[in-house]
Structure 1
Amino acid sequence: MTLHLLGRNEIDDELWDYCISRSTFPSLFAKSWYLDIFTDHQWQGIVEGDYLSVMPFYKKKKWLIPYISQPFLCQRGGVFSKVGHFSESSFFYDLLKKQGYSINLLIRDKLPDQGKCFPKVNHILSLNDEYEKLNEGFNRNTIRNIRFASKSGLMIQEEKNPDIILNFLEKNDRSGYVKTYSKMILSLITKSFELENGFAIKAAISGNIVSLAYFIEDGGKLYFLLCASDPKGKLTKALYLIINEVIEKFAGRNVILDFAGSNMESIARRNLGFGASSEIYYNIKWNIFQF
């Protein structure tokens, strides 16, 4: 196995993205344009041969010590191999360690020999069935919330102005992450609109947005990336109506709704209430100074 550690300007975007798209587990989070946005074009990659397998990584420094971390809004990374090609993932991580890097990454597979592994939960929902069949998988609380929201005077429609989307998300994000990464998020929304694979759905009362959710469709998945509700949106359960609208719109297609989380109990309960199933991924940590 021949591995090459490449800087951003040495990576062939077309070959890279082709490998990601044709891998066993394709991911939006490993696409070159997506990584460019959330690393300010500073990500690097390990490439096997003629892009048979690839692994993106983002090097940062803390107290002058280099380490590999997960970029914001990139839920999972790791090694991506073309269908039919097997690569030993450990060799990729060993190469990073030889460079003197500590590692803190989110990956699909558990690799206990590469460091401490902490399980995390993601939720997904296949939209292959017709809406009526999918609706049968909703629990009683979800159905009740959808009915309540539908009687609250909410208008559900698409929002196409990136600035309006960002402003609402930033204003109603209690975590503070949207404000911290506002420029990157605005770039993401704008770029996805240019690529025609991103969209935002809003719920409004009397013309005022009370809840909003942002999605990207890529590689057979519909990624639920960002959402927010103001006090009135929370009171009217508006986000439930938005998610239901999206499920109804994409029902009957060979698409998986990827909720991109969550380990938070309240969000997990909401996701599972729509009939989503759980899948495990891992936070792998390895300190260069550990003995």
Structure 2
Amino acid sequence: MPVIRFIPYEEIDKTRWDNAIRSSSNSLIYAESSYLDAMADRWDALISDEYQLLMPICSREKFGIRYIYQPAFIQQLGIFGQDQNISAYTHSFLEAIPGTYRLVETTLNAANVVQDLPNGWQVQYRNNFLRSLNNGYRTTRQGYDAYLRQRVNRAGRQGLEYRDSQDIGFAIKAYRDLYRLRIPDFSDRDFTQFGLLCGRLQESGRLVIRQAVDKTNGEVYALILLLKDDRRLYNMISCIWPEGKKKGANYFLFDQVMREFSGNPLSLDFEGSDVPGIAYFYEKFSDKKEIYPFIRLNRLPWPLRILKP
């Protein structure tokens, strides 16, 4: 088994880190150093074999207690590497997490199959949906079932227009205003940091914002904010307004995204969901369901252990 070392943030070689993440068999944008810098209060890492295997550890400290948490706007983290059998190392990496972290609540990624958890660990499984865009749009459209084709066709008759946007602030504010009750744990800082991250990604051509608008008056009925790496388009923000729901603007918008990006070596990552209605919508458009683990370990001192079961 590889020798796994805990490396504090200050000693991480970010160039080597990012090269390793991007060349890993299960690369995800969330694990890039600039993404972690933006969204995590602090991150350190478990690293083995000269950056062959890596696991970012995002942490906070409260009342003198250090704990590992899941930052906002990050769906999956866990172990990354070029080895095709990464799940073989899951147990070893979890055991290597320092005992100074008294609580762990975080996700792994879909390549980190959990088969044999160390003592005290708990796991839940979450859903994500993907659509390969490798083929042309015609092939993609042929994969729609009858219900989805009907909804897309109906939305296409509602006087909607597919439009590019560069307005990050509008997208984030809309998401926050429409869904604040769904994301109560997202702080002001989270939204500010995500906005700054989006701005940097926009400058490097790695951000896409698209809208479904009224052809006549330009009213926005639905929008999507996507982040991009070499393998995926990530559905980070998806908004639909009440009038947009009546017109099926979300069906129109996602179909148009498929049309625009089909024929590229990418997958559209819908970013979940486990919410039944949202999951139903994303699953209709997807051609692959992936499962990823959410893991938990509670070694808080008594009585905090009881208060945080």
The two structures have a TM-score, normalised by structure 1, of 0.91
Q: 1:132 aligns with which of 135, 138, 141?
A: 138
Amino acid at match of 1:238: A
Deviation at 1:279, TM superposition (A): 1.3
Paired with 2:136 and 2:73, the residues of 1 have a C-alpha distance of: 30
Matched, 1:259 2:270: yes
Q: 1:111: how far off?
A: 4.6
Q: Any residues of structure 2 matched to 1:1-291 within 5 Å, and which?
A: 1-40=2-41, 42-83=42-83, 88-108=89-109, 109-114=113-118, 115-174=121-180, 175-176=182-183, 180=188, 181-205=190-214, 206-289=217-300
> What's the CA shift for 1:165?
2.1
> Structure 2 vs 1, CA of residues 278 and 198 (structure 1 numbering), >3 Å: closer, same or farther?
same
* SS of equivalent residue, structure 1 residue 186: helix
Whether the 8 Å CA contact 2:171–2:237 is kept in 1: the answer is no
| Whole-angstrom distance in 1 between the partners of 2:99 and 2:183 | 36
Gaps of 5+ in 1: none
For residue 224 of structure 1, report the CA deviation from its aligned partner: 1.1
Q: Higher mean Cα deviation, 1-10 or 218-227?
A: 1-10
Q: 1:179 to 1:155 in 2, by over 3 A?
A: farther
For 2:9 and 2:98, the matched residues in 1 are separated by: 19
Structure 2 unmatched ranges of 5 or more: none
Aligned 8 A contact 1:159 1:165 in 2: no
Cα distance per residue 1:198-228 (max 9 Å; x no partner): 1110111212212110111213111111111
Deviations 1:71-94 (A, max 9, x none): 111111111122478673323222
2:279 maps to a residue whose letter is A
How far, CA to CA, are the matches of 1:145 and 1:184 in structure 2? Answer: 36
Secondary structure at the counterpart of residue 213 of structure 1 = strand
Which amino acid counterpart does residue 177 of structure 2 have in structure 1? K
Question: Contact 1:28/1:219 (CA < 8 Å) preserved in 2?
Answer: no
Q: Which deviations, in whole Å up to 9, do the C-alpha atoms of 1:134-177 show, x marking residues without a partner? A: 11111222222222222222121111022222232223224245
Query: Which deviations, in whole Å up to 9, do the C-alpha atoms of 1:84-134 show, x marking residues without a partner?
Result: 786733232222143343211211321542311111111111112221111
Aligned partners of 2:28 and 2:167: how far apart in 1?
Answer: 26
Opposite residue 113 of structure 1, the aligned amino acid is: L
- SS of residue paired to 2:93: helix
How many angstroms apart in 2 are the aligned matches of 1:159 and 1:66? 41
Task: Give 1:197's aligned amino acid.
Answer: R
Look up the equivalent residue of 1:22 and give its one-letter code. S
Instruction: Confirm or deny: 8 A CA contact 1:134 1:275 kept in the other structure.
Output: no
- Distance in structure 2 (CA, Å) of the matches to 1:186 and 1:233: 25
In the superposition, the TM-score normalised over structure 2's length comes to 0.86
Q: What amino acid is the match of 1:199?
A: V
Report the alpha carbon displacement of residue 61 of structure 1 after superposing the two structures with TM: 3.1
Given that residues 23 and 81 in structure 1 are in contact (C-alpha distance below 8 angstroms), is that contact kept between their aligned partners in structure 2? yes
Q: Is the 8 A contact 2:130 2:268 kept in 1?
A: yes
Distance 1:29 1:59 in 2: 15
Counterpart amino acid of residue 232 in structure 1: E
Amino acid at match of 1:52: Q
| Cα distance change on mapping 1:282 and 1:122 into 2, 3 Å | same
Contact kept, 8 Å, 1:224 with 1:257, in 2: the verdict is yes
